[in-house]
């Protein structure tokens, strides 16, 4: 998959993974579709970008004697998911165009 396209999908998939309940890095990696190939080295910079964009907040909770960072989606993060879904028709139209051009 194209890296730029993948990045956009990864961002929204990470937000969706914490939409229902707050989560932490390892669980997010498990929740995101494996086809996207999310790894720790990809996830943590992405989480930092989403935090800086105010799409999520971070807090720490002690777990087994260590602090675990949890991520919470913000209204801006929810809006980002809604914007992504609103673009679905445009994305499908582009794919249809490409498929049509290939079949000619």
More confident position, 78 or 63: 78
| Backbone CA torsion sign across 7, 8, 11, 16 | negative
Q: Whole-model pTM above 0.75?
A: yes
Q: Under 8 Å CB-to-CB from 81, ≥6 apart: which residues?
A: 12, 15, 16, 19
Is residue 73 predicted with pLDDT exceeding 90?
Answer: yes
Give the count of domains, the chain.
Answer: 1
Is residue 7 predicted with pLDDT exceeding 70?
Answer: yes
Across the range 25-54, mean pLDDT stands at 95
pLDDT value, residue 104:
59
- Residue-number span of the structural domain to which 28 is assigned: 3-103
Query: ∠14-46-91 over CA atoms, to 5°?
Result: 60
Banded pLDDT at 51 (limits 50, 70, 90)? very high
Question: Bridge partners of 60?
Answer: 69
pLDDT value, residue 45:
96
Report how far residue 89's alpha carbon sits from residue 5's, in angstroms, rounded to the nearest whole number: 16
Banded pLDDT at 2 (limits 50, 70, 90)? confident
* DSSP 8-state secondary structure symbol assigned to residue 23: B
CATH of the domain at 52: 1.10.10.10
Mean pLDDT of the chain: 92
Question: Bridge partners of 72?
Answer: 57
């Amino acid at each position: 998959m194209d890296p730029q396209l993948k990045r956009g999908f990864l961002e929204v998939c990470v937000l969706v993974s914490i939409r229902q309940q707050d989560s932490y890095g390892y669980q997010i990696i498990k929740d995101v579709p494996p086809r996207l190939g999310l790894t720790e080295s990809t996830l943590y910079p992405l989480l930092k970008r989403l935090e800086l964009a105010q799409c999520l907040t971070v807090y720490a909770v002690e777990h087994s004697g260590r602090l675990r960072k949890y991520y919470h989606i913000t209204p801006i993060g929810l809006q980002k998911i809604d914007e992504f879904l609103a673009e679905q028709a445009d994305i499908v139209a582009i794919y249809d165009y490409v498929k049509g051009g290939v079949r000619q």
